[in-house]
Structure 1
Amino acid sequence: MSFKNFPMVSRVMFGRGSFNQLDEIITPKRQGREAPFIYYVDDVFKGNPWLTSRISLSYKDKIIYVPTKEEPKTSQIDQLVEDIILEFSERPSGIIGIGGGIVLDIAKAVSIMLTNEGEAKDYQGWDLVKNPAIYHVGIPTISGTGAEVSRTTILTGPDRKLGINSDYTPFDQVILDPELTKDVPKDQWFYTGMDCYVHCIESLNGSYLNSFSQSYGEKAFEICKEVFLGDNLSEEEAQDKLMMASWHGGMSIAYSQVGVAHAMSYGLGYLLGIKHGIGNCIVFDHLEEFYPDGVKLFKEMKAKHNIVLPKGICANLEEEELDIMINVALSLEPLWENAIGKNWKDIITPQKLKELYLKM
Structure 2
Amino acid sequence: MSYKNFPMVPRVIFGRGSFNQLNEILAPKRLSISAPFIYLIDDVFKNNTELTSRISLYYDDEIVFISTNEEPKTTQVDELVEKIILNTKARPSGIIGIGGGSILDLAKAVSIMLTNEGEAKDYQGWDLVKNPAIYHVGIPTISGTGAEVSRTTVLTGPEKKLGINSDFTPFDQVILDSELTKDVPKDQWFYTGMDCYIHCIESLNGSYLNSFSQSYGEKSLELCKEIFLDNSANISDVEAQEKLMMASWHGGMSIAYSQVGVAHAMSYGLSYLLGTKHGIGNCIVFDHLEEFYPEGVALFKEMKMKHNIILPQNVCAQLSNEEFDIMIDVALSLEPLWENAIGKNWKKTITREKLKALYQKM
Q: What's the TM-score once normalised by structure 2's chain length?
A: 0.99
Corresponding residue to 2:302 among 297, 300, 303: 300
- Post-superposition offset of 1:204: 0.1
2:242 alignment counterpart: 240
1:176 alignment counterpart: 176
1:101 alignment counterpart: 101
- Post-superposition offset of 1:77: 0.4
Q: What amino acid does structure 2 have at the position aligned with 1:316?
A: Q
- Post-superposition offset of 1:139: 0.1
1:113 alignment counterpart: 113
Work out the CA distance in 2 between the residues paired with 1:79 and 1:232. Answer: 45
1:128 alignment counterpart: 128
Q: What amino acid does structure 2 have at the position aligned with 1:189?
A: W
What are the ranges of 5 or more consecutive residues in structure 2 without an aligned counterpart?
none
1:337 alignment counterpart: 339
Work out the CA distance in 2 between the residues paired with 1:26 and 1:254. Answer: 27
1:194 alignment counterpart: 194
Q: How does 1:168-317 map to 2 (within 5 A)?
A: 168-233=168-233, 235-317=237-319
Work out the CA distance in 1 between the residues paired with 2:5 and 2:271. Answer: 30
Q: Deviations over 1:149-200 (max 9, x none)?
A: 0000000000000000000000000000000000000000000000000000
Work out the CA distance in 1 between the residues paired with 2:344 and 2:127. Answer: 22
Q: Deviations over 1:303-333 (max 9, x none)?
A: 0000000000001100000000000000000
2:72 alignment counterpart: 72
> Structure 1 residue 47 and structure 2 residue 44: aligned?
no
> Structure 1 residue 141 and structure 2 residue 141: aligned?
yes
1:350 alignment counterpart: 352
Q: What amino acid does structure 2 have at the position aligned with 1:19?
A: F
Q: Deviations over 1:42-73 (max 9, x none)?
A: 00000111100001100000000010000111
Work out the CA distance in 2 between the residues paired with 1:233 and 1:70. Answer: 30
* 2:137 match: secondary structure: strand
* 1:98 match: secondary structure: strand
Q: What amino acid does structure 1 have at the position aligned with 2:31?
A: Q
2:151 alignment counterpart: 151
Q: What amino acid does structure 1 have at the position aligned with 2:340?
A: N
* 1:251 match: secondary structure: helix
- Post-superposition offset of 1:275: 0.3
Q: What amino acid does structure 2 have at the position aligned with 1:351?
A: E
Work out the CA distance in 1 between the residues paired with 2:186 and 2:157. Answer: 30
Greater CA drift, 251-260 or 232-241: 232-241
Work out the CA distance in 2 between the residues paired with 1:188 and 1:15. Answer: 22
2:163 alignment counterpart: 163
Work out the CA distance in 1 between the residues paired with 2:106 and 2:299. Answer: 32
Work out the CA distance in 2 between the residues paired with 1:232 and 1:285. Answer: 25
Q: Return structure 1 stretches of 4+ with deviation > 3 angstroms.
A: none
Work out the CA distance in 1 between the residues paired with 2:28 and 2:343. Answer: 47
- Post-superposition offset of 1:221: 0.1
Q: How many residues of Structure 1 are paired with residues of Structure 2 in the alignment?
A: 360
Q: What amino acid does structure 1 have at the position aligned with 2:167?
A: D
Work out the CA distance in 2 between the residues paired with 1:193 and 1:299. Answer: 14
Q: What amino acid does structure 1 have at the position aligned with 2:91?
A: R
- Post-superposition offset of 1:89: 1.4
What are the ranges of 5 or more consecutive residues in structure 1 without an aligned counterpart?
none
Alignment identity in percent? 80
* 2:348 match: secondary structure: helix
1:17 alignment counterpart: 17
1:320 alignment counterpart: 322
RMSD across aligned C-alpha pairs, in angstroms?
Answer: 0.5
Work out the CA distance in 1 between the residues paired with 2:233 and 2:190. Answer: 16
Work out the CA distance in 1 between the residues paired with 2:2 and 2:300. Answer: 36
* 1:20 match: secondary structure: helix
* 1:328 match: secondary structure: helix
- Post-superposition offset of 1:2: 1.5
Q: What amino acid does structure 2 have at the position aligned with 1:166?
A: S
- Post-superposition offset of 1:232: 2.7
Work out the CA distance in 1 between the residues paired with 2:68 and 2:267. Answer: 18
Q: How does 1:76-95 map to 2 (within 5 A)?
A: 76-95=76-95
- Post-superposition offset of 1:302: 0.1
